[in-house]
Structure 1
Amino acid sequence: MSNHRHFIIHKPFGYLSQFVNNQNKRKNKKLLGELNDFPEGIMAIGRLDEDSEGLLFLTTDGMVSEQVRSKKVAKEYYVQVDGDITQEAIEQLKTGVEIGIHGKKYQTLPCEAHKLQSEPNFKARTKKLRDARHGPTSWISVTLHEGKFRQVRKMTAKVGFPTLRLLRVRIGTILLNDLPSGAIIEVDAFDV
């Protein structure tokens, strides 16, 4: 029997995917530890940047972290982009695009991508994005088997449709569903 603990969380907008603030330039940032009294040694499996929202796993077991972050486990994102995305741009996302990762060129792996037929039913963000005066937006689904630094944002910008809002909605077989922003569920294991 393992003494490790595992959590599923809907990471809210404006929080860093970390528990300790060890950088001077991030003095007034919100950390995940402010949402709950998590156990010692807790870590986020993968990350969502401060402006991203959605499904995030937390664990005290580094081996589980490695398994979930592997290329075997798909991660799906719903992405609101600036403009009415074209099928050509979707095809570019699917085949892979060249982005910069820490100053080096990187060719993303092929992925699944499609335009959503209707806007997902997510609660409005606490910080308003923009309104109709700024032109149209569209929503897409992007499913990756990798997770480079700010990858989805870089990919959509590369094809000419910058990301406005990003939510991870699935990791493996686990769905965000109706889990409200900031909600935390403790689980026995991640059945991904």
Structure 2
Amino acid sequence: MTDDGFLQHRIASPVQKMPKTYWVQVEGNISASAIAALSAGVMLKDRCTRPAKACAMEEPALWPRVPPVRWRDSIPTSWLELIITEGRNRQVRRMTAAVGFPTLRLIRYRIGSWSLEGLEPGDYRRIRINLPAALPSGNRPAFARPAKLPKRIRKSRRGSRGR
């Protein structure tokens, strides 16, 4: 999405709580109880997720998937829109599986106010983001590395490790 590290941190950091909207195709007809469970938060193996905004939706007009999603005549599929503010590893897939509806297709449709609307596969959009050019002194982002220590201090620390 971006090659700007500071912007990527603001987008992906769970501390920022930037909403991410997913369109999810699941196996089976999604039930009201499953949507309620997703909206309340789902207990995963590691811990409970934050409440999400979940609602059933009609099948969107999308590009064909290559390879196509597995097709079974006897098992229907349904779509839902899921908005989360976390971003744990495979979270959406794990959430839908936990309520009994495995994910077949997953599309991140929107992050914050940026969406895929009007974009075709392979297209991109350049957007100007107004971020501070430089951070005020002493307000380094949490992900920034500390400045490299002078060589004489690094050598003295090496000796204190028992080497």
TM-score range, shorter chain: 0.7 to 0.9
Alignment match, 1:58: 2
Aligned-pair distance for 1:190?
7.6
Render the CA deviation track for 1:20-44: whole Å, top value 9, x for unaligned.
xxxxxxxxxxxxxxxxxxxxxxxxx
1:146 counterpart = 2:86? yes
The amino acid that maps onto 1:58 is T
- C-alpha change, 1:150 and 1:170, in structure 2 (3 Å) is same
Matches within 5 A, 1:67-78: 67-70=10-13, 71-78=16-23
Match of residue 154 from structure 2: none
Does 2:56 match 1:112?
no
Task: Report percent identity of matched pairs.
Answer: 40
Residues 1-21 of structure 1, C-alpha deviations (whole Å, 9 max, x = no match): xxxxxxxxxxxxxxxxxxxxx
1: distance between equivalents of 2:12 and 2:130? 12
Q: Could you tell me how far apart the structure 1 residues matched to 2:68 and 2:41 are? A: 31
Alignment of 1:81-160 (within 5 A): 81-100=26-45, 105-116=46-57, 118-160=58-100
CA–CA distance in structure 1, aligned partners of residues 64 and 124 of structure 2 = 19
Structure possessing the higher radius of gyration over alpha carbons: 2
Partner SS, residue 91 of structure 1: helix
Output the CA distance in 2 between the equivalents of 1:178 and 1:164: 24
Q: 1:121 to 1:67 in 2, by over 3 A?
A: same
Q: Shift of the alpha carbon at 1:134? A: 4.2
Q: Which structure has more strand as a fraction of its residues?
A: 1
Aligned residue runs from structure 1 range 2-41, under 5 A:
none
Name the TM-score, length of structure 1 as normaliser.
0.63
In the alignment, the residues of structure 2 paired with residue 188 and residue 107 of structure 1 have an alpha-carbon distance, to the nearest angstrom, of: 36
Opposite residue 75 of structure 1, the aligned amino acid is K
Amino acid at match of 2:60: P
| Structure 1 segments of 4+ aligned residues over 4 angstroms from their partners | none
SS in 2 for 1:80: strand
RMSD of the alignment, in Å? 1.7
If the length of structure 2 is used for normalisation, what is the TM-score?
0.74
Q: 1:134 to 1:189 in 2, by over 3 A?
A: farther
Structure 1 unaligned regions, length at least 5: 1-56
Gaps of 5+ in 2: 132-163
